[in-house]
Amino acid sequence: MYDVIILGSGPAGLTAAIYCGRANKNTLVLGGTSLGGQTAEIALLENYPGWHGTGFDLIEFMKQQAESFGAKIEMVPATHIENESDGTFTVIAGNDKKYQTRTIILATGASPRKLEIAGARELLGRGVSYCATCDGFFFTGKTVLIIGGGNSALNDALYLADIAKVVKIIYRKSEFTRAEAILRERVSERKNIECVFNTELKEISPKPDSETGELVATTTNGEQIVCDGVFVAIGHEANTDYLTEDIRRDEMGRIAPDSLPRGMFVAGDVHSNIKMQVATAVGTGCGAAMDAVAYLNANAQ
């Protein structure tokens, strides 16, 4: 029986693990399929106070810190949670093991929203990608498209501009209204980044007779854009498939904290009504851990 099981190994989950470990609570982190989630994919993290480096390095540091306080980390996802009659929980994991705990912190984050147009699913991994830092290397010296207009899209464009020959940002609006000013300025200064506004794609297909695997991206007005790769950055959806329907979610699938049973807490990008940033993930991870520790202490047997 664990005191706390934390689902997720991003900044929120690892922060919670640090706090719970320091409070001398028997703590297990079920970290999912990849350590750090989206944060680990950030090539340069420069808006988290006190850090200027890769997101992966920050996650590794936080992981070591959590383990130094006794937290145990297993890289398996949760598939289901059962509420027991005595007020405890059983977490069923992807390795078919069952873990019992007195409290749970949900910190499973969010995943990139999929591009639902013809060809996008079929060409995933064959020119279509949702991770610029993972796959950018394969497009060295080539032409790539970025789909989206928020911070993630512009950060991806800036990262790929150092790798690809040409980067074209395809955005359905007339300007980047959701992206930070500093990112808009940096994009405008890069000579190999082209912004294509008021444009949406309806199909991605292989270019006929191409010997290099080129793609054709067809817009809704019929224009065809030839490229080597398409990177998608159109928002995120919360990772909550393991939860029952009685837990209320918002339109992004994020969890409403007041719908959780006693002993269950939420932190990070899966928490509704917070900004999706590393700093807010850390803050909510801290808060969820302190609430879980207070709950355990108040209900100590």
Which residues are identified as catalytic? 131, 134-135
CB-CB neighbours of 46 under 10 Å: 9
Quote helix, strand, coil % in the chain, to nearest 5: 30, 30, 45
Dihedral angle computed from the Cα positions of residues 73, 78, 83 and 84, in that order, rounded to the nearest 10 degrees: -60
What is d(CA 20, CA 102) in angstroms, rounded to the nearest whole number?
13
Query: What three-state secondary structure class fits 265?
Result: strand
Kindly compute the dihedral angle of the four CA atoms of residues 130, 162, 37, 50, in this order, to the nearest 10 degrees. Answer: -150
- CA 128 from chain centre, in angstroms, equals 18
Taking Cα atoms as reference points, which of 160, 162, 163, 125 lies closest to residue 146? 160
Contact status, residue 230 vs residue 217, Cβ threshold 8 Å: yes
Contacts of 112 (CB under 8 A, 6+ apart): 38, 130, 131, 232, 233, 234, 235, 236, 237
CA distance 218 to 227: 11
